[in-house]
Each structure stands twice: as C-alpha cells, then as structure tokens.
Amino acid sequence: MAEIEREAKLTLTLRDYRRLEEGHRVLESRDQLNVYLHDPDRLLEGLGYLRVRYEAGREAVVTLKIPMGWKGEVREMVEMECPLKGLGPELCPWPRRRVRVASNLPPEMGRHFLSRGMPVLRRLGWMRNLRLVLDVEGLGTVELDRTRLPGGAIHHEVEIETPDEDLLGRIVARIREMAPSAQASRVGKFSRFLEAAGVVPPEIGENGDSAPDP
C-alpha cells in the first residue's frame, strides 16, 4: 500500500553528530546497506527510484520512492514497501545488474515504471548507512545517520519524520540547540549517491530526489 512520507533533513558536522549521539538516549542502532535501481537514461526526470535495503537482524525490504515536492523544509514522497523475500530471481536475494520490472516487482510497483516506459531497471550501485534512532525527550524520535558515500566520503545528517508541523519545528529547534551546524537540506540520500558515484554531474544531482517540473 502506498503511504505519504513527510520528512525534514538537517546536515551536520562530525562534531555535532557526536554531540547528538552522546546527548541523547540511543533506542536502536541499524547497520544498513542500500542498493539503488533505476533506468540510467531517465535519472533526471524526477520519476522516483527503487531501493533494496538490507539491515542486520531484519528482513530485507524493497521500497519505491516517488517525489511529490517540498513544503518549506519538509519533503513529501509517495512510498511503497514490501519484503524482498519471494520477489523475482533478478531481484531476490540480491539485485542483478539488469532487472525486468514485469516479472520481478510486485504489480503495484511495477505499474509505476511500466506506465512510464521503463520495462528494465539497472542496478546503479550501493552505499552503507549507520542509523541511530535517538530519543528526543518529550518530543519523540529522530534518526541520526552516518552515510559512507561511493568514494569513501562520510556524510552526517538528522532525519525527522512527522506530519505535525508544530512538532517538527520544536524538534528542529531542540536539535539546533545542541548542534548549531544543523542546516536544512533538500538533497536526499539517492541524490548524494548519484553525485558521489559520478552517475550524474554534481550540479544536477539533486534532481533524483525532486519532483518533475510542472
């Protein structure tokens, strides 16, 4: 089933990453491997992307993310997710270089690509992310990410998911009290991956996470 994901991202320095890690209770630590698939010739059209995520101790999942746009600092995306187990052999247990949509994806996900003339997806590559789920006392939780990009560079950020704009503002203010380097970002992990991997030029890398122009 499709859901609407609403999230804000704040980039951080390493020093402020450590401040947040040490200053909050860590509820979970997740070692993630994200594998990205798309049609290399259609990356700049804002059509969304397919991600396979592996996490230690958890069932691997496939997620289709489709950008809707931005409301201030909040990104909105349609998200469809299902377990990797049981999907087609070109996708499970590990995505092959070439994945035929019709015979390997669930129908609802497949229709998104097929209706846009994308019968085949290519495995673009992968990157690792260490995610800490932090308890922000009295407000909820945030996700503190340490991402190793292709080429070895490390990126630090906080992700905040909530449909409540007032709550979001209070969480952002609390984070900035402890992490003054925190800056709102409109660049998602997929876009950072594309740029770091050299799949698209840096000046247009962020289009991978953006909605198409009207």
Residues 10-69: tens digit of each pLDDT: 999 999 999 999 999 999 999 999 999 999 999 999 999 999 999 999 999 999 999 999
pLDDT for the residue 55: 97
DSSP tally for the chain: helices H, then strands E: 5, 10
Is 151 within 8 Å of 195 (Cβ atoms)? Answer: no
Q: Which of 94-98, 102-106, 164-168 has the lowest mean pLDDT?
A: 164-168
Fold designation for 3-209: Hypothetical Protein Pfu-838710-001 (2.40.320)
Integer distance in angstroms from the first to the last C-alpha of the chain? 26
Kindly list the domain boundaries of the chain, sorted by start residue: 3-209
| pLDDT for 214 beyond 70 | no
pLDDT for the residue 179: 98
Confidence of residue 99 (pLDDT cuts 50, 70, 90): very high
pLDDT for the residue 29: 98
| pLDDT for 197 beyond 80 | yes
pLDDT for the residue 1: 65
pLDDT for the residue 212: 37
Residue percentage of the chain with pLDDT more than 70: 93
Instruction: Give the integer Cα–Cα distance in Å for 109 and 92.
Output: 15
Residue percentage of the chain with pLDDT more than 90: 86
- Go through 6-42 and write b for each residue having 16 or more CB atoms within 10 A of its CB, e for each that does not: bbbbbbbeeebbebbeeebeeeeebebebbbbbbeee
What average pLDDT does range 128-141 have in this prediction?
Answer: 97
Instruction: Give the integer Cα–Cα distance in Å for 113 and 119.
Output: 7
